Amino acid sequence: MPFLLLLLAAGVFAYFFWRSRTTSLTRDCRWRQHRKEGVWKCAYCGAQQKGEDAPTICLNGK
């Protein structure tokens, strides 16, 4: 049983480590896709980024 708890804890740690390396989005980032214009717009700061996939980089302050 302790082995399973350690394995679960390691898995959770690995997930959060992986997640922090693949995105820089903050809690305030709220990207919305505007398909007609072909852009993603942040509802929080108004930043815009072109592309089909959701942004993974926070553009707040740029």
3-state secondary structure of 58: coil
**Dist CA 44 CA 28 (whole Å):** 6
pTM of the model: 0.54
Work out the angle at residue 60's Cα, subtended by the Cα atoms of residues 57 and 62, and round it to the nearest 5 degrees. 95
pLDDT tier at 59, thresholds 50, 70, 90 = confident
pLDDT 10s digits, 38-48: 999 988 888 88
Structure tokens at 28: 């305030």
Structure tokens at 53: 């996939």
